[in-house]
Amino acid sequence: MNYLLKLKQAILAALIIILFAALSYSQSQPYVILISFDGYRWDYVNRGITPNINLIINAGVKAISIKPVFPTKTFPNHISIITGMYPENHGIIFNEFKDPFNDRYYYIGDSLEVRESSWYRGEAFWETARRQGIITASYFWPSSDMNREYRRPDYFLHYEHEIPYDVRVNSVLDWLQLPYNERPHFITMYFDLTDGVGHRYGPISPEIDIAISSLDSTLGNLLSGLEEIQMRDSVNIILVSDHGMTEVNFVKIINVEEMLKGYKFGSSNSGPAMMISTDDADIEKIYSLLKKNENHYKVYLKNDIPPYYHFSKSPRISEILLVAEMGWAVITNKDLKWMKPENYNGNHGYDNHHLDMHGVFIAGGPHFKNGYETGTINCLDIYPLLCKIFNIIPNNNIDGKLDRIEFILNEDLGK
């Protein structure tokens, strides 16, 4: 009897120790808010209209730019940021494309397909973190609302474009005030304003400056809110953009459909880049015709796509790829319906090495160096950086490299 009592006491003591250890671990976990400003070009922070971003810069880290992956499109880059993988490896190769094995079509405007988890071959950071005991949340990020529960953040919302920005900010602040055992420590946020305005009015316009200022005010509301709940000093903020923007106009267009009259082919995407698929018998013929007329664009057979694009491995990539010269557009007849001068003055999707396609990288908080400026950051390296901050084991299939980015962290990290 005495033995059983001692055993129960020992078990109870062990449970108490485990409970307190878990609580201590939860309270010691860092906080990170990863924010995306869609289409926010690298030089937008240099226009003297972003006082709140400057607050983070002055006390944190600013890179000259962030280098996106090719193609410099929204979904491929957001997935690359959150998985640390090239599009050819994580599977989301464009904003729209067809699966050659089942003829299903991925399109960012199709919510059912976007939520279908089988499209996504990479492991998002929130998956890695959840598996290792980190509570995660997303107020929007491509793939965060996929249809398999275990592949989503603990807290998430299906994307709704019209939800006001102040509602998003207040919801994140509410998450951060949940009890410790329910509170997310990793949160993503997404804001599209500069992308839409950049497309319509261009990256050098009064309208884009208004959009830049508006997003800065939204960031200011988040910072003020963190101050009010006494978490400003404990939250790491990483502000990134998925790509930049360049000026375009309706004059610089190449109609591929007119060039390939008489041939049966399929195409996906247009503007800065286009994929073309056709019967095997016509691949060389179509390629030769496009090569013969190559002017203000480059055409590649899949096996000959330059290695620096890292865009040839996936079976979802078509047999022929066209990449337009900066500012030019490769199109088909259907594109003429929307390419009007009044709404087509900026675009992205071009060669990711061109500076106009680069975005911003700014970070501040207890885990980052103070007042530190660096060169270009590779977007693939954000995933391993997050793993380092949270001291968790990364997925071993990533393309990102910690040693290219960890120097921006406080040297005391992990000590």
Considering the domain architecture, whether residues 140 and 224 belong to the same structural domain is answered as yes
Q: How many domains does the chain have?
A: 2
Q: 213 and 193, same structural domain?
A: yes
Residues 105 and 145 grouped into a single domain? yes
Considering the domain boundaries, does residue 23 fall inside one? no
Question: Which tens digit of pLDDT belongs to each residue from 163-209?
Answer: 999 999 999 999 999 999 999 999 999 999 999 999 999 999 999 99
Return the CATH number at 330: 3.30.1360.180
Q: Which of 312, 344, 376 is the last residue of a domain?
A: 344
Find the helix packing angle between 165-175 and 206-228, rounded to 10°: 20
Token output for 25: 């671990």
| Nearest in space to 46 (alpha carbons), one of 54, 34, 58 | 54
Residue 9 lies in a domain: no
Categorize the per-residue pLDDT at 6 as very low, low, confident or very high, splitting at 50, 70 and 90: low
Distance, CA of 69 to CA of 350 (rounded, Å): 10
Phi and psi (nearest 5°) for 291? Answer: -70, -40
375 & 340 share domain: no
**Domain that includes residue 311, residue range:** 253-344
| Residue 214 included in any domain | yes
Q: Would 143 be classed as within a structural domain? A: yes
Residue 12 has pLDDT above 80, yes or no: no
Q: Kindly report the average pLDDT of the chain as a whole number.
A: 94
pLDDT digit string, tens, across residues 273-314: 999 999 999 999 999 999 999 999 999 999 999 999 999 999
Shared-domain flag, residues 81 and 207: yes
Using CA atoms, how far apart are residues 99 and 36, in angstroms rounded to an integer?
A: 28
pLDDT tens profile 221-272: 999 999 999 999 999 999 999 999 999 999 999 999 999 999 999 999 999 9
Give how far Cα 360 sits from Cα of 41, 114, 269, Å.
6, 26, 25
Is residue 223 classed as helix, strand or coil in its secondary structure? helix
Determine the pLDDT at residue 207: 98
Distances (CA, A) of 403 to 78, 191, 388: 21, 29, 11
Q: What distance in Å separates the CA atoms of residue 94 and residue 350, rounded to the nearest whole number?
A: 12
Using alpha carbons only, give the angle 126, 196, 91 rounded to the nearest 5 degrees. 40
pTM of the complete model: 0.93
Same domain, 259 and 218: no
Together in a domain, 82 and 67: yes
Q: Does residue 350 sit within a domain?
A: no
Q: Identify the CA nearest to 245 among candidates 43, 35, 36.
A: 43
Q: What is the dihedral of CA 215, 220, 222, 227, to 10 degrees?
A: 170
What's the CATH code of the domain at 224? 3.40.720.10
* Residue 4 confidence (pLDDT): 57
Active site residues: 74
> Are 141 and 257 in the same domain?
no
Based on the domain organization, do 98 and 212 belong to the same domain? Answer: yes
Q: Are residues 80 and 142 in the same domain?
A: yes
Higher per-residue pLDDT: 73 or 6: 73
In a domain, 329, yes or no: yes
Per the DSSP assignment, residues forming a β-bridge with 409 are 368
Q: Is residue 206 part of a domain?
A: yes
Nearest to 320 by CA among 304, 332, 294, 302: 302
Does 169 share its domain with 285? no
Distance CA 82, CA 127 (A): 10
- Domain boundary pick from 301, 320, 344: 344
In a domain, 415, yes or no: no
Under the banding of pLDDT at 50, 70 and 90, the label for residue 342 is confident
Q: Would you call 118 helix, strand, or coil by DSSP?
A: helix
341 vs 134, more confident: 134
Domain boundary among 314, 344, 374: 344
Instruction: Let me know whether 179 and 66 are in one domain.
Output: yes
Q: 220-224: long-range contacts (C-beta < 8 A, 24 or more apart)?
A: 220/51, 220/52, 221/165, 221/166, 221/169, 222/33, 222/169, 222/172, 222/173, 223/52, 223/55, 223/56
